[in-house]
Amino acid sequence: MSTKVKQQYAFSRVMIYAVLISAAAVYLVPIYILLNTSLKSFEAATLRQLWVPALEPTFEPFLRAWSQLAPNFMNSIYLTIPATVISCILGSLNGYVFSKWRFRGADVLFVLVLFGMFIPYQSILIPLVQFLRSIGLYGSLGGLILTHIVYGIPITTLIFRNYYMEVPDSLLDASYIDGLGMFQAYLWIVFPISAPAFVVVIIWQFTNIWNEFLFAVTLTHRPSLQPITVALRNLAGSQIVEWNVQMAGAFLAALPTLAVFISLGKFFVRGLMAGSVKG
């Protein structure tokens, strides 16, 4: 390369990094505001000081937010874990059948199931409330768990189906010859190699259910039963709660999914990609 071309190349490299780093800085602004304000005492978190760094950090806002939000944080855990586990198992079974046992009409049924993940949930919300009322689950965590299991079926089925499509049919044919039935083949051959798909689906469902708001706010009305997203919104909407405590609350609500993302990000991205269908 000539010197001139080299200089041009170096310059364009610098420009690329400059753009990427400034973009990263912009993406981090909300996290800065969130953490910075959470670490300020009430006196330091005066209205004019949003952007000023917390010079004397204190954990007091976190403790106060936790004392208010702890029950709701626990509700979210009791809600998220069973809903995630059950929708995963259903998704795995469905995905197995829709990829390896395509009975006549299976493909059409699969697309009909898939449609369920795109609908605006408003369009089923009124009947859902009436239905849960009639079976006595309205207003309880149980009703919310059931709801998340049901509406989790399309996405979990999709991710597992796409994963099992890559499993060679010959593997199953061998088991068939060995006299294993459909379900035994799942238990002994397919399930043991499903771990990667389970990781993706568990992370995906955990994140979505933890962060969900519409079902939570319509199906639970007693504050003691509300998941953290609803409690956070009430906390942030109230005039009497200081905003360093609001921010600390927001941070607590974000922490579990953020931690999962930072530690297991690549699986999360796989879930994202699966969420965009690509048959």
Per rule CB under 8 A, is residue 5 in the interface with another protein?
Answer: no
- Contacts of residues 269-276 at CB distance under 8 Å and 24 or more positions apart, as own/partner, are 270/200, 271/159, 271/200, 271/201, 271/203, 271/204, 274/155, 274/158, 274/159, 274/162, 274/200, 274/204, 275/155, 275/158, 275/204
Q: Which of residues 84-123 bind another protein (CB under 8 A)?
A: 90, 93-94, 96-98, 101, 103, 106-107, 109-116, 118-123
Among 50, 135, 174, 193, binds another protein (CB under 8 A): 50
Per rule CB under 8 A, is residue 241 in the interface with another protein?
Answer: no
Per rule CB under 8 A, is residue 51 in the interface with another protein?
Answer: yes
Per rule CB under 8 A, is residue 181 in the interface with another protein?
Answer: yes
Per rule CB under 8 A, is residue 142 in the interface with another protein?
Answer: no
Among 142, 236, 241, 242, binds another protein (CB under 8 A): 236
- Shortest gap between Cβ of 188 and another protein (angstroms)? 15
Residue 79 near residue 144, CB atoms below 8 Å: yes
Residue 169 near residue 185, CB atoms below 8 Å: no
Q: Which of residues 253-272 bind another protein (CB under 8 A)?
A: 253-254, 257-258, 260-262, 265, 268-269, 272
Among 40, 75, 154, 190, binds another protein (CB under 8 A): 154
Per rule CB under 8 A, is residue 11 in the interface with another protein?
Answer: no
Q: Which stretch binds another protein (CB under 8 A): 55-63, 135-143, 187-195, 243-251?
A: 243-251
Q: How many residues does the chain have?
A: 279
- Based on C-alpha coordinates, what's the Rg of the chain? 24
Among 220, 247, 267, 274, binds another protein (CB under 8 A): 247
Instruction: Select 127 or 192, whichever has its Cβ closest to another protein.
Output: 127
Per rule CB under 8 A, is residue 63 in the interface with another protein?
Answer: no
- Shortest gap between Cβ of 145 and another protein (angstroms)? 13
- Shortest gap between Cβ of 150 and another protein (angstroms)? 5
Per rule CB under 8 A, is residue 174 in the interface with another protein?
Answer: no
Cα angle 187, 189, 191; round to 5: 55
Site string for another protein, 186-215 (x = CB under 8 A): ---------------------x--xxxxx-
Instruction: Select 59 or 169, whichever has its Cβ closest to another protein.
Output: 169
Per rule CB under 8 A, is residue 166 in the interface with another protein?
Answer: no
- Site size toward another protein (CB under 8 A) is 95
Per rule CB under 8 A, is residue 239 in the interface with another protein?
Answer: no
